[in-house]
Amino acid sequence: MKRYILTGIFVFLAVLVATFPARVAFNWLAPPDVALSGISGSIWNGSAEEGLAAGAYIQDLTWRLKPASLFTGKLAFVTSSKPAAGALKADVAISLNGSLTLSNVAGNLPLDLIHPAFQQNRISGDVSLSFARVVMKDGLPVDIDGSVTVSNFFVPDLSSAQLGDYTAQVSNSDAGITATIDDTAGVLDVSATVTLSPDNVYQVLGEVAARPAAPPSITQQLQMLGSPDARGFRPFRFEGSL
């Protein structure tokens, strides 16, 4: 009789774990920078109609739990979702300390979906993401390795035509998170470094020059940066805090 009771308890627990509602699990485990609605399914396989992840709007989110991650102190999932336009795929892990780790990140989306400032200033472009790892804590990146490409970059205050294509290699450094930005095509020759310190202070240092095909409006705007050097480049610098 004791053996039957233990077997029954084991089966009950197994069924409970296998069908544990995703909605309950999300309320318990979700990091503060993730909000979802329309949640259905279980913690093992589930979906959400829409939500916000690190400030970005997503829809049609699906996930599949990776059971082996339970032995590492994390809950890891294979996920896919759709922004308002484009698509994103990533392996997601939620740590006990509340950090959110994304790995094998790949996707594409419009630039103006990344931050409201782009929408407000009518800045647009097509963004491609490829990250081996992104660790988020309190809504901000603390560890990152990958690249971002922006094509068909358009800034109406600079030009009525597209500025071209640009790529950024993002990694960790002694100063914090660093991104090196270079042009790959277009009317501007750009080389810059963006640094985000551990206390969330960012700094952008670089130099820029107009290519021969650049429209006069861009050349006029660049004159505000001061006199060019012997190569025709003008330095620029921006800084602030997040």
Give the pLDDT means over successive 10-residue stretches in the chain (242 positions).
39 39 57 71 74 70 72 69 76 73 86 78 90 81 89 86 90 86 90 87 90 86 88 89 72
CA distance 51 to 203: 31
User: Containing H/E element for 10?
Assistant: helix 2-18
User: Containing H/E element for 77?
Assistant: strand 74-82
The predicted structure's pLDDT at residue 75: 66
CA distance 197 to 241: 9
The predicted structure's pLDDT at residue 1: 44
The predicted structure's pLDDT at residue 23: 56
Q: 235 near 200, Cβ under 8 Å?
A: no
Residue 70, classified by CB atoms within 10 Å of its CB into exposed (0-12), middle (13-18) or buried (19+), is exposed
The predicted structure's pLDDT at residue 239: 84
User: What is the length of the chain?
Assistant: 242
The predicted structure's pLDDT at residue 65: 75
